[in-house]
Amino acid sequence: MDRVLVERARSGDQAAFADLVHLVSDTLFGIARRILRDPGLAEDVLQNALVTIWRKLPGLRDADRFEGWAFRILVNACYAAAPQSRRWAATVRVLPVDREDPADDIRSITDRDELERAFRALPLDQRAVFVLHHHVGLPLVAVAETLGIPDGTARSRLHYATRALRAAFEANRALDLAREGRLA
Amino acid sequence: MSDRVFEHAVRDWLEDGSDRTPRHAIEGVLLAIKTTPQQRSLRIPWRYPTMNPIARLAAVAAVATVAIAGSLYLFGRSPGNVGGPPTPGPTTLPTPTPAMAGPILAGTYAGPTLQVADIIAMVNTDSRLTAADRSQIIDVLFAIRGKQTWTDSLEFRGGLLFERQTVDGVTAVGSSGRYAFPDDHTLVYTETRNGVDLPNPWRLDLTIEGNTFTLHRSAPVANPADDFVTRVIFESGPFTLR
């Protein structure tokens, strides 16, 4: 991240902040979209987070820590949007897919559907750890620091999230194999 | 079930979809911050509520050193030093050399302000564009529907190029990346997104006149919509140093 740009924005330079937004918005949008599983809601959350970042920027002591600090504000904005998303997610149903076709692309689609369904059922704090670790590529220690939680908590959230996804994935694969066996 | 199969499936699912932030979302934020004050902390930053004994000793020692040095300066001068050391004669400060970006000065260069109605007329009369292209250019790429004026600017700073578009006074970055000048007549612009270089850098013919320059794309662009947009962005000059 451009330290000079962060410092200029911190001192109230709106043009510098506009450049900063350009540099980080896609990354932040990608994180919000993955945690919330709703591009429209992610867009709202991103906007709220960016305005919060602008307001609180003078309080950021070390410009080199801008990215992690921005991630935390974004994740908190995702949590704040949780009541709406939880209600929304509960109404989501995976569309039925014709599972009699054993082709790999169909299997891939059903895999994604099952992963999606299992992920939506996870609490947001587990989703956040999973996305920061697997999508952003942060080590667990950095995830914990970013979210302001103990290392062990980050590790257990990742464990539960992975276990739920793996269970859904394996159940789907087992179902596919059983269907293929019946067809053979 | 192997870990690799599971990890592969998770990666495919997780990385699906586009992370490109909608332009209108960025514009909304940039409008909002114009009227949103930043929170300024009134307390003194980095002031520790308690000092450890070593820090306290170090602080006392530093204060004592300054006090002793000051006393010696004020009271320890010999009579011959009355008036202090001779004042140095006037010197000429070196004039700061303006930073260069290749053959031009580093800084922001603004293009002329165009009327949105003129751009839309150009879009509508370009026979190569489909209806979908026209909508994409007006509503997404330039986001100018219902607006009045459009201006493009290029900032060259420390090897980075920021291309910004100002629509009705609201400025947002259109693209950014690295620039290079292989010679005095060529600008090569490699756009980056999420820290990754995009393929096929723009190669632009450069004509400099004082603090002004014009650009022309060295080669045509195959996609009609991209061709139109980059023609307006790069060839709407001259770009003049602000």
The tens digit of pLDDT for each residue in B105-114 reads 888 999 999 9
User: Which chain A residue has its CA at the smallest distance from B32's CA?
Assistant: A51
Query: B33 and A135: CB-CB below 8 Å?
Result: no
Residue type, A52: T
Task: Tell me what pLDDT residue B58 has.
Answer: 64
Please give the average per-residue pLDDT across B113-134, as a whole number: 90
Distance from CA of B33 to the nearest CA of A (A): 7
B226 closest CA partner among B112, B101, B141: B141
Give chain B's mean pLDDT: 79
Residue to substitute from B19, B23, B26, interface A, most A β-carbons within 10 A:
B19
Query: Under 8 Å CB-to-CB from A22, ≥6 apart: which residues?
Result: B26, B162, B172, B173, B176
pLDDT above 70 (res A153): yes
Distance from CA of B156 to the nearest CA of A (A): 13
- Shared domain for A79 and A125, answered yes or no, is no
pLDDT digits (tens, 9 = 90+) for A72-88: 999 999 998 865 444 33
Task: Tell me what pLDDT residue B187 has.
Answer: 93
Domain CATH code at residue A36: 1.10.1740.10
B193 beta partners: B196
Query: B162 and A22: CB-CB below 8 Å?
Result: yes
- Shared domain for A129 and A55, answered yes or no, is no
User: Which residue of B25, B28, B30 is in closest CB contact with A18?
Assistant: B30
- Shared domain for A73 and A85, answered yes or no, is yes
C-alpha to C-alpha distance for B2 and B22, rounded to whole angstroms: 38
C-alpha to C-alpha distance for A15 and A1, rounded to whole angstroms: 16
- Shared domain for A76 and A133, answered yes or no, is no
Query: B15 and A135: CB-CB below 8 Å?
Result: yes
C-alpha to C-alpha distance for A40 and A44, rounded to whole angstroms: 7
- Shared domain for A27 and A12, answered yes or no, is yes
In B42-61, the residues whose Cβ lies within 8 Å of chain A are 45-46
Query: A54 and B38: CB-CB below 8 Å?
Result: yes
User: Which residue of B1, B13, B39 is in closest CB contact with A56?
Assistant: B39
Integer CA distances (angstroms), B81 to A88, B86, B90, in order: 84, 10, 22
Q: How many CB atoms lie within 10 A of CB A135?
A: 18
- Shared domain for A98 and A125, answered yes or no, is yes
User: Which chain B residue has its CA at the smallest distance from A52's CA?
Assistant: B38
Residue to substitute from B12, B24, B29, interface A, most A β-carbons within 10 A:
B29
Residue type, B10: V
- Shared domain for A19 and A40, answered yes or no, is yes
- Shared domain for A39 and A84, answered yes or no, is yes
Task: Tell me what pLDDT residue A177 has.
Answer: 72
Confidence band, pLDDT 50/70/90 cuts, at residue B95? low
Beta strands B149-157; B160-167: pairing state: antiparallel
Residue B236 near residue B163 (C-beta atoms within 8 A) = no
Packing angle of the helix pair B3-14, A104-120 (nearest 10 deg): 70
pLDDT digits (tens, 9 = 90+) for B159-188: 888 888 888 888 887 888 889 998 889 999
Residue to substitute from A4, A25, A53, interface B, most B β-carbons within 10 A:
A25
C-alpha to C-alpha distance for A58 and B37, rounded to whole angstroms: 11
User: Which chain B residue has its CA at the smallest distance from A32's CA?
Assistant: B19
The CA-based dihedral angle spanning residues B201, A23, B16, A141, taken in that order and rounded to the nearest 10 degrees: 130
pLDDT digits (tens, 9 = 90+) for B49-86: 445 555 555 655 665 665 666 555 655 544 444 444 54
Task: Tell me what pLDDT residue B43 has.
Answer: 45
Query: A43 and B38: CB-CB below 8 Å?
Result: no
C-alpha to C-alpha distance for B138 and B116, rounded to whole angstroms: 9
C-alpha to C-alpha distance for B95 and B105, rounded to whole angstroms: 16
C-alpha to C-alpha distance for B203 and B187, rounded to whole angstroms: 6
Task: Tell me what pLDDT residue B150 has.
Answer: 92
User: Which residue of B11, B32, B41 is in closest CB contact with A59?
Assistant: B41
Domain-ending residue, one of A47, A68, A92: A92
Query: Does B180 contact chain A (CB < 8 Å)?
Result: no
**How many domains is chain A partitioned into structurally?**
2
Q: Residue A80 is part of which domain span?
A: 1-92
Domain boundaries, chain B: 100-241
Query: Does B25 contact chain A (CB < 8 Å)?
Result: yes
Residue B14 near residue A169 (C-beta atoms within 8 A) = no
Domain CATH code at residue A141: 1.10.10.10
Cis peptide before B238 (omega within 30 of 0): yes
- Shared domain for A60 and A3, answered yes or no, is yes
What is the pTM (predicted TM-score) of this model?
A: 0.58
User: Which residue of A15, A26, A33 is in closest CB contact with B193?
Assistant: A26
Q: How far does CA A54 lie from the centroid of its chain? A: 22
- ipTM here: 0.80
- Shared domain for A63 and A126, answered yes or no, is no
Q: Out of A19-23, A112-116, B91-95, pick the least confident.
A: B91-95
Domain-ending residue, one of A76, A92, A108: A92
User: Which chain A residue has its CA at the smallest distance from B29's CA?
Assistant: A47
Domain-ending residue, one of A92, A114, A149: A92
- Shared domain for A82 and A151, answered yes or no, is no
Distance from CA of A138 to the nearest CA of B (A): 15
Task: Tell me what pLDDT residue B210 has.
Answer: 84
Residue A141 near residue B39 (C-beta atoms within 8 A) = no
- Residue recorded with tokens 């602080």: B59
Task: Tell me what pLDDT residue B16 has.
Answer: 85
User: Which residue of A39, A131, A169 is in closest CB contact with B6?
Assistant: A169
- Shared domain for A163 and A113, answered yes or no, is yes
